[in-house]
Structure 1
């Protein structure tokens, strides 16, 4: 085990080799940098979305309702209809909704 650890440390110190333990160092670095860049872009987009919700709230819109509308728009129309039918059924069973249409 000690020999393996020593071999890893030696290969890590060998800057002339493009490989470290069979891993292409430059390719690995490129993947890591791309992921980091995309993660930073995602953070920026998330902040932008928060700003839009805050702006909508500032003009009087209900952000919970907006989030629900966004979620519903992502659904397939058939799936959305199924979910609405289930919700109506549950509400009716609890005496909270309209009579189910037949």
Structure 2
């Protein structure tokens, strides 16, 4: 095989892997949307659920820092 043929084949394999992962990603995104819809139908606030998930991804220190800054901003705007 020539070098170009090997490179062409490798490129094709990368592209196909990425395409499969994109399909999997779409499937997972659909599952997540369905789960939010199910929670909403049970009376849960999905906007708040999304915020909780975002907070849970953060480290404790990052979350505490964000909450402290948020408190400062709220106080400055008379929201506290």
Query: How many Å separate the matches in 1 of 2:78 and 2:19?
Result: 51
Alignment gaps of 5+ in structure 2: none
The structure that is helix-richer by fraction is 2
Match of 2:30 among 47, 56, 59: 47
Partner of 1:60: 43
Report the structure number with the largest CA radius of gyration.
1
Query: How many Å separate the matches in 1 of 2:31 and 2:65?
Result: 32
Give the TM-score taking structure 2 as reference length.
Answer: 0.92
Instruction: State whether residues 72 and 80 of structure 1, in contact with CA within 8 Å, keep that contact through their aligned partners in structure 2.
Output: yes
Alignment gaps of 5+ in structure 1: 1-15, 98-102
How far off its partner does 1:19 sit?
1.6
Aligned length: 80
How far off its partner does 1:92 sit?
1.2
Q: CA RMSD in A?
A: 1.5
